[in-house]
Amino acid sequence: MSDGSREGVLEGLRKTGVTALFFGRLLGACVPALGRPRLIIAQIYNAGARSLIIIMLSGLFTGMVLGLQGYDLLHRFGATSALGTAAALSLLKELGPVLTALLFAGRAGTALTSEIGLMRATDQLTAMEVMAVDPLRHVAAPRFLGGLIALPLLTAIFIVVGLFGAQLVGVQMMGVDRGIFWSQMQSAIALKDVTEGVVKSVAFGAVLSLIAVNEGYHADPTAEGVGRATTRTVVASSVMTLLLDYVLTAAFL
Amino acid sequence: MRANRSLEIGTGLFVLLGVAALLFLTTQLPASGMKFGFGKPAGYEVTAEFDNIGDLKVGAPVKMAGVRIGEVTRIDFDTNSERAEVWMNIYKKFNQIPMDSFASIDTEGLLGGEYISISPGGLQTYLKNGSRIEETQSALVLENLINKFFANFSNKSGSGSQGGSKGPK
């Protein structure tokens, strides 16, 4: 093994270790951070409330496309009455959690990373440490918790808006019977399907927030370093979302 | 202070929306959850008894000549007659359906959902709130049909071969 590749492997191992250690310390800092709910509320606002419009728009159009594509496909088999079931299952189990997570990574994850990275670059975090204020507790933990709370709520909103988008196209435009659309959906879906979507969104919330906070916290304290950290957040978040999605789906089936 | 206040209101609104969406998903979607109706159009209620309703569900449409005239509101089992009893809400403007109309359970397409089809009778008295449709036909359960078909088929082919052996003599 050449020196360069060994160095690369070691560096990869070190980064993994740093992330794991950071996660442990972050979890430790979460408990005292709960004592300051105002900081968390501000982060729920940043990560959640300000992503609301983009999530609802995306949900609406995802649902409408499902309505169109689902109708076209099912129409060939004379089974358009299954449109409600098909749309609801795909939104609940896959499209809702995954698309919301990807949008969240782009909209909120990048903002988190660049914000914390800039704090690092302008020595604000160091200043806090000097003043004996734990930046993990006051900066990182509230942002992590905010993302963790915001993403499942965003996912639920995405799914509900998507369902009404699918009904808009399927029932109002394509003429599937409204009663059949909803009653077939309700009889086919079990509570387990809803749980799967919720568990996925909570898992994505934890992982994406951790990635965003970690990348920002350990960014190189330069303009370029912050930029690269933000890029890494998007890439790592997207890959982890899809990878974790497969694992969770396999675990639930 | 003002900025802080609008931030808190925004967060509250977002959390409320999210929780409402979660509640909708857990209570309205699964069959096990409770449901409240989406505001039914005004109409009158009619009942009918069937030997077998197959896969009919609450919310399924009631159709006449293919046009939606109402929907199924409740399904129950009548222990006296040992048949399925179905309540239907017929929209108010369809108020001239003859008393002796005929209700049957049909399927939309091969894989589609089931609905109640009403064929009009000839009487001049009309269904009103609380009326019962007496003439009904059960759902066609595809599996039963296939069973019958194969039973017939094997009987026929059995007798057919006997007939064949007689034929040449």
Could you report the per-residue pLDDT of A46-104, keeping only the tens digit for each? 888 889 999 999 999 999 999 999 999 988 887 888 899 999 999 999 999 999 999 99
Pick the residue of A177, A193, A198 with the most B CBs within 10 A to test the interface with B by mutation: A177
pLDDT digits (tens, 9 = 90+) for A113-139: 999 999 989 989 889 889 988 888 888
Position B42 scores a pLDDT of 77
pLDDT given for residue B130 in this prediction: 84
Winning range, highest mean pLDDT, from A61-70, B63-72, B73-82: A61-70
Number of domains into which chain A is organized: 1
Q: Which domain holds residue A116?
A: 36-252
Task: Mark yes or no for CB contact A183/B30 under 8 Å.
Answer: no
pLDDT grade for A248, boundaries at 50, 70 and 90? very high
Question: How high does pLDDT run on average in chain A?
Answer: 90
Give the model's pLDDT for residue B168: 46
pLDDT tier at B153, thresholds 50, 70, 90: confident
What are the sequence ranges of the domains in chain B? Answer: 1-36, 43-143
Residues of A with Cβ-Cβ distance to B112 under 8 angstroms: 78-82, 180
Residue A60 counted as domain residue: yes
Which uninterrupted H or E stretch holds B77?
Answer: strand B67-78
Per-residue pLDDT at A168 exceeds 50: yes
Question: What is the reported pLDDT for B167?
Answer: 42
Please report the pLDDT score of residue B110 as a whole number.
66
Structure tokens at B146: 């296939």
Name the minimum distance, in Å, from the CA of A149 to any CA of chain B.
9
Would you say residue B140 has pLDDT above 80? Answer: no
- Residue A206 lies inside a defined structural domain of this protein: yes
Model pTM above 0.80: no
CA separation for the pair A150, A34 (Å, rounded) = 15
Q: Name the packing angle between helices A141-167 and A110-121 (round to 10°).
A: 160
The tokens describing A42, both together, are 């501000």
Structure tokens that stand for B73 in this block? 């509101």
Q: Residue A42's closest chain B neighbor by CA?
A: B7
Higher pLDDT, residue A16 or A59 = A59
How many whole angstroms separate alpha carbon A181 and alpha carbon A194? 18
Q: Is the pLDDT of residue B34 over 70?
A: no
Task: DSSP for A76-102, please give it.
Answer: HTT-GGGHHHHHHHHIIIIIHHHHHHH
A residues 27-86 closer than 8 Å to B (CB): 41-42, 44-45, 48-50, 52, 77-82
Residue A12 lies in a domain: no
Task: Tell which of A157, A172, A200 to mutate to test the B interface (max B CBs under 10 Å).
Answer: A157
CA gap A212, B74 in Å, rounded: 51
Whole-number pLDDT of residue B165: 45
Within 10 A of A169 (CB to CB), how many other CB atoms are there?
21
Residue A5 in any domain: the answer is no
- Going by pLDDT thresholds of 50, 70 and 90, the confidence category of residue A198 is very high
CA distance A9 to B127: 81
**Average pLDDT of every residue of chain B:** 79
| Phi (first) and psi of residue A251, to 5 degrees | -65, -30
Which residues of chain A are within 8 Å of residue B40 when distances are taken between CB atoms? none
Confidence at A166, pLDDT banded by 50, 70, 90 = very high
**Is residue A27 domain-resident?**
no
Q: Does A171 touch chain B (CB under 8 A)?
A: no
Q: Is the pLDDT of residue B78 over 90?
A: no
